[in-house]
């Protein structure tokens, strides 16, 4: 079964798929995971995913509240798919290194230290993307 598909309510804000992938790459933050995410080795998130692997990830960039317009300028992308726990050691390390490089570029020594101390008790989740949507609001 693939992720449920519902058309965007605000079609005037829809962006093409390629632009949605660009938003995802530039996003400062998101909800749930990127293609890979890390988490504690036990907890609510892993319990939920064990019961239901379908998930979505929302990433937002260019967010700016515009009080005078009663609006928020933003670009967002939502990925839909299934999450799985990464158990193969090489893939786990590759994913953690990719996440670190994305959010802490050039901090290789800190990452190496963290992998030794935190790596064994860090869960790595992978979202296998089935579909992506994106939208933008100029905040005008």
Q: Is residue 116 part of a domain?
A: yes
Residue 32: the pLDDT is 47
Q: Is residue 2 part of a domain?
A: no
As a whole number, mean pLDDT of residues 3-15 equals 71
Q: Is residue 109 part of a domain?
A: yes
Q: Is the pLDDT of residue 12 over 60?
A: yes
Q: Is residue 84 part of a domain?
A: yes
Q: Is residue 6 part of a domain?
A: no
Query: Can you say whether the dihedral through the CA atoms of 75, 101, 80, 54 is positive or negative?
Result: negative
The arrangement of strands across the sheet holding 54-66 comes to: 29-31, 54-66, 71-85, 122-137, 36-40
Q: pLDDT for 97-128, tens place per residue?
A: 888 888 888 998 988 898 888 878 888 889 99
Provide the whole-model pTM: 0.64
Q: pLDDT for 124-135, tens place per residue?
A: 889 998 999 899
Range of the domain at 57: 13-137
Residue 89: the pLDDT is 87
């Amino acid at each position: 079964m693939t992720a449920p598909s519902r058309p965007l309510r605000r079609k005037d804000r829809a962006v093409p798929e390629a632009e949605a992938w660009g938003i995802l790459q530039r996003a400062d933050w998101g909800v749930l995971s990127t293609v890979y995410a890390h988490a504690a080795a036990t907890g609510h998130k892993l319990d939920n995913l064990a019961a239901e692997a379908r998930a979505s990830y929302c990433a937002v960039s260019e967010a700016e509240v515009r009080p005078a317009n009663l609006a928020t300028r933003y670009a967002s992308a939502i990925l839909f798919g299934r999450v799985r726990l990464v158990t193969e050691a090489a893939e786990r390390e590759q994913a953690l290194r990719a996440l670190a490089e994305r959010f802490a570029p050039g901090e290789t020594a800190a990452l190496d230290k963290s992998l030794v101390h935190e790596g064994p008790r860090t869960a790595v989740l992978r979202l296998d993307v089935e579909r992506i949507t994106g939208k933008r609001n100029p905040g005008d």
